[in-house]
Amino acid sequence: MENMIEVRNVSMKFRMSDEPINSLKEIFTHAVKGKLKFNEFLALDDVSFELEKGKTLGLIGKNGAGKSTTLKLISGILKPTEGTIITNGNIVPMLELGAGFDLELTGKENIYLNGAILGYSKEYLESKYDDIIEFAEIRDFIDMPIRNYSSGMMARLAFSIASVVQPEILIVDEILAVGDVAFQEKSFNRMKELMSGGATVLFVSHDLEKIEEMCDKVIWLNRGKVVMFGDTDEVCKEYRKAQGIKE
Amino acid sequence: MSKEKLKKIFIAIISIYTALVVSFYFLGGDQIKYKASSGNIAMPEATAVTDEIVAGSIVSQDFVNQIENIEQLAIVFTKFYRNASGIISVSLYDGNEALVRNTMKLVDVPEQSRIYLVPEEPITGLKGKKLTLKIYTTAKINHGAAVMMSKDVPDSTVNFNGKEIEGTLCFSITGFDENPIGKYYWHVVGVIGAFLAALLIYTYNQYLKGRSNYIVIAIAAIYRYDFLISQLVIRDFKSKYKRSILGVFWSFLNPLLTMTVQFLVFSTFFKADTQNYPVYLLSGVVCFSFFNECTTMCLSSISGNARLITKVYIPKYIFPLSRTISSSINLGISLIPLLLACLVLGVHLKPQALLFFYFLACLIVFSLGIGLFLSALMVFFRDIQFLWSVLTQIWMYATPIFYPAEIIPEKYKFIVRFNPLYHFIGNARTCLINGVSPEPRAYIFCFLFAFISIMIGAFTFKKTQDKFALYL
């Protein structure tokens, strides 16, 4: 079967200074003091995996294990220091919902702006416009600037825009928990729909039960290294053992 | 991208090029065929003065003319700040034949300011000949004037009543020579056109063979992201004017108000020296405001969209580009008050005024180049935002916006010559106010300034853009 994502020997180095330096003055004073040193921080160390079409891959690990970095690398936001990443197909990253929302604009204007940022065409947005409003349950407020929206309404709108596509590769970073309980369930179902619609999915969550429910394969990362990569049951079992969580 | 679409775009490019060079030939007119003469003599800085010229005295100076077609002479008198009376006459002689003469009442002679001698037709065929400038008057003693002189010019003497004095009179002579570019205009544009066509045909063939090509990639990117760019531009506009009462009307009002303020402040100083000062001022204000707004908006375009850039993949150049497009639309809106001012203040708009847009286009590309450079720099050095606001201030004062370029002393002129904004704004004004095309050299200079800027900007941006996400 065709591989949709191939990650080969990818390493990602961040240069971290002890203090954030981003002005001329700071660079100058630090250079004078002889303190202009950068610590290299290896966020990912020689990570390789591949994912077949239509499969769902879960990423687990502690905070700082490199999960988000992996997602950002695959969605093209970051470039790897070493190694190659090959993706086949259009990617919709749901790393943060509502990125690019403009508070001064109305809901309707934001649908078009945010849609354009996510790479949708004008025609596509026009055809899906009603679906988006319907799903977000904000029809009465659509011509209102979103600075007047509640945070729940904004999150619902953002999720509706992001999830209206049929992406070939979907990248999800723990965003299912938006809105009230009813909407959470609705959005979870929408996610499952997307996944069963043939999309290849990368999914990050701390909720092992959700991972077990949704993923075909799991990769376990710790401090930038792959601890384990394999079938969901196997990896989750080992992970629970290591974490000392009882089944 | 489909084969037909690409073909259509390429044909469009060739037709636009053809239309532009043909219309330029007609709009450019004489300015393509002629250029400012290399034999022009500039006005020297006054360091001395002749004795008072009264009835009976004759002042003359010989010089060798190197101009093919003489258009204008200027000379500077002083009346020692007294009430002078009588008649003064300035003439240019070729041997015994007077070529041009200006006779006027001394009362009307301005104090230490230029008097012009303009022949009805340019004087031709005197290149390499010795000409004589002669001045005489009917004024009585203590009611006469004197000519300002310069002692700095070597090897020249002034004849005062038969007596030789070291130095030169403060006069200038300007004209034009035949321009080699004008002679070969069709050859040059033909060669460029053929080269362009060959490049596009080559690109098209490469595309048919399925090879990747920068030109095709660039065109595909424009089509792919046009919706996003238009959305970002709309956002810039809507959020800029959202809660203001006058809204987009401000784009219209702003340059007018700035011009009015500067006009009230500076008009007493510079009005006399400048043809149609309010339009001169407004065109400068409109162009510089664009430059200022565009570069400042570009500066923060990457750092200000940090949340987006670290969360969604978008080609990063989209941000400075969309800001430049919104500023350009703003510029377009502020051209309306400029046009109105031209009509109200009696500027005779000729077809040549259309050439104005060439220089505006160069200005836009130039600003985009600077904007790309600044937006990339801003990610790594936040100080640049403060530095830049100081730099634009200095740049504004170094550019003839509210003062005429002529008042800059000769020894500082080189600064202006290297100032791209001076060229963009100055040439744009020539087209708009004087209704003539600048000489062809000006087009090439402006193109080069814009080209170098966009190259440096794009190169810096491309080199650093992969690191943006790490520093934001």
- Write out the DSSP string of B451-472: HHHHHHHHHHHHHHHHHHHHH-
CA–CA distance, B22 with B13 (Å, rounded to integer): 14
Predicted confidence at residue B271, as pLDDT, reads 67
Q: What's the gap in Å between the CA of A235 and the closest CA on chain B?
A: 28
- pLDDT below 50 — which residues of chain B? none
Predicted confidence at residue B1, as pLDDT, reads 67
Q: Is A98 exposed, middle or buried (0-12, 13-18, 19+ CB in 10 A)?
A: buried
Count chain A–chain B contacts defined by CB atoms under 8 A: 78
Predicted confidence at residue B448, as pLDDT, reads 95
Mutate to test the interface with A, among B226, B227, B468 (most CBs of A within 10 A): B227
Mutate to test the interface with A, among B230, B235, B319 (most CBs of A within 10 A): B235
Angle, to 10 degrees, between the axis of helix B384-398 and the axis of helix B277-299? Answer: 160
Which residues lie across from A202 on neighbouring strands?
A57, A171
Q: Pick from B231, B312, B471: which is nearest to A99 by CB? A: B312
CB B237 within 8 A of CB B248: yes
- Closest to B365 measured CA to CA, from B463, B453, B442: B453
- Side-chain-facing half-sphere of B301: CA atoms under 13 Å: 33
CB A191 within 8 A of CB A213: no
CB A162 within 8 A of CB A75: no
Q: B302 in helix, strand or coil? A: coil
- Residue B53: other Cβ atoms inside 10 A: 22
- Residue B401: other Cβ atoms inside 10 A: 22
Domain boundaries, chain A: 3-90+203-243, 100-166
Question: Interior CA angle at A47 toward A15 and A223, to 5°?
Answer: 60
Predicted confidence at residue B468, as pLDDT, reads 87
**Cβ contact A100–B307 (<8 Å):** yes
Domain with CATH 2.60.120 in chain B: 48-177
Residues B29-67: tens digit of each pLDDT: 777 777 778 888 888 888 888 888 888 888 888 888 888
- Residue B152: other Cβ atoms inside 10 A: 12
Chain-centre distance for alpha carbon B436: 13
Question: Interior CA angle at B453 toward B21 and B236, to 5°?
Answer: 95
Helix (H) or strand (E) holding A47: strand A38-52
**Cβ contact A14–B227 (<8 Å):** no
DSSP class per residue in A177-211: --SSHHHHHHHHHHHHHHHHTT-EEEEE-S-HHHH
Q: Measured between beta carbons, which residues in chain A are less than 8 angstroms from residue B242?
A: 104-105, 145
CA–CA distance, A162 with A159 (Å, rounded to integer): 5
Angle, to 10 degrees, between the axis of helix B318-344 and the axis of helix B356-380? Answer: 140
**Cβ contact B228–A116 (<8 Å):** yes
What type of residue sits at position B333? Answer: I
Residues A43-59: tens digit of each pLDDT: 888 889 888 888 889 99
Predicted confidence at residue A19, as pLDDT, reads 56
Q: Would you give the end-to-end CA distance of chain A in angstroms?
A: 33
CA–CA distance, B203 with B368 (Å, rounded to integer): 26
CA–CA distance, B93 with B116 (Å, rounded to integer): 16
- Per DSSP, helices labelled H in B153-248 are 180-183, 185-208, 214-241
Residue B140 DSSP class: P
**Cβ contact B312–A75 (<8 Å):** yes
Which chain B residue has the Cα nearest residue A25?
A: B383
Helix (H) or strand (E) holding B6: helix B3-28
Which chain B residue has the Cα nearest residue A80?
A: B466
Q: What's the gap in Å between the CA of B368 and the closest CA on chain A?
A: 22
Predicted confidence at residue A206, as pLDDT, reads 81
Q: What's the gap in Å between the CA of B246 and the closest CA on chain A?
A: 17
CB B133 within 8 A of CB B67: no
- Annotation: CATH topology of B48-177: Jelly Rolls (2.60.120)
Q: The pTM is what?
A: 0.79
Residues A92-124: tens digit of each pLDDT: 777 777 777 888 888 999 999 988 888 888 899
Distances from the Cα of A105 to the Cαs of A39, A121, A143, B308, B336, in angstroms? Answer: 42, 20, 9, 17, 27
Give Cβ neighbours of residue A236 (< 8 Å, ≥ 6 apart): A60, A208, A211, A212, A218
Which residues lie across from B131 on neighbouring strands?
B63
Q: Is B123 exposed, middle or buried (0-12, 13-18, 19+ CB in 10 A)?
A: buried
Q: Measured between beta carbons, which residues in chain B are less than 8 angstroms from residue A24?
A: 381, 383-384
CA–CA distance, B287 with B421 (Å, rounded to integer): 9
Predicted confidence at residue A21, as pLDDT, reads 59
Phi first, then psi: give them for residue A203, nearest 5 degrees: -135, 120
Q: B407 in helix, strand or coil? A: helix
Which residues lie across from A39 on neighbouring strands?
A16
Tokens coding A194? 């997307």
Question: Would an 8 Å CB–CB cutoff place A100 in contact with chain B?
Answer: yes
Question: Interior CA angle at B78 toward B72 and B80, to 5°?
Answer: 170
Q: Measured between beta carbons, which residues in chain B are less than 8 angstroms from residue A99?
A: 307-308, 311-312
Question: Would an 8 Å CB–CB cutoff place B390 in contact with chain A?
Answer: no
- Residue A216: other Cβ atoms inside 10 A: 15
Residues A198-227: tens digit of each pLDDT: 888 888 888 888 888 888 899 999 888 888
Predicted confidence at residue B81, as pLDDT, reads 85
CB A225 within 8 A of CB A68: no
Q: Measured between beta carbons, which residues in chain A are less than 8 angstroms from residue B231?
A: 112-113, 116-117
**Cβ contact A116–B380 (<8 Å):** no
Helix (H) or strand (E) holding B267: helix B249-270
Is the alpha carbon torsion for A152, A154, A157, A162 positive or negative? negative
Which residues lie across from B169 on neighbouring strands?
B149
Residue B43 DSSP class: P
The single residue listed with the structure tokens 């005429």 is B404
CB A101 within 8 A of CB A156: no
ipTM above 0.90 for this complex: no
Question: Would an 8 Å CB–CB cutoff place A49 in contact with chain B?
Answer: no
Tokens coding B381? 């050095």
Q: Pick from B310, B312, B383: which is nearest to A118 by CB? A: B312
What type of residue sits at position A186? Answer: K
Strands A91-94 and B114-117: unpaired
Helix (H) or strand (E) holding B36: strand B34-36
Q: Average pLDDT, stretch A235-241?
A: 87
Predicted confidence at residue A102, as pLDDT, reads 85
- Per DSSP, helices labelled H in chain A are 24-33, 67-74, 107-117, 122-136, 151-162, 181-196, 208-214, 232-243
Residues A157-205: tens digit of each pLDDT: 888 888 887 778 888 876 656 677 888 888 888 887 877 778 888 888 8
Q: Pick from A102, A112, A117: which is nearest to B239 by CB? A: A102
Residues A58-101: tens digit of each pLDDT: 998 888 888 888 988 888 888 888 899 988 887 877 777 777 78
Question: Would an 8 Å CB–CB cutoff place B310 in contact with chain A?
Answer: yes
- Annotation: CATH topology of A3-90+203-243: Rossmann fold (3.40.50)
Q: What is the CA radius of gyration of chain B?
A: 27
Q: B48 in helix, strand or coil? A: strand
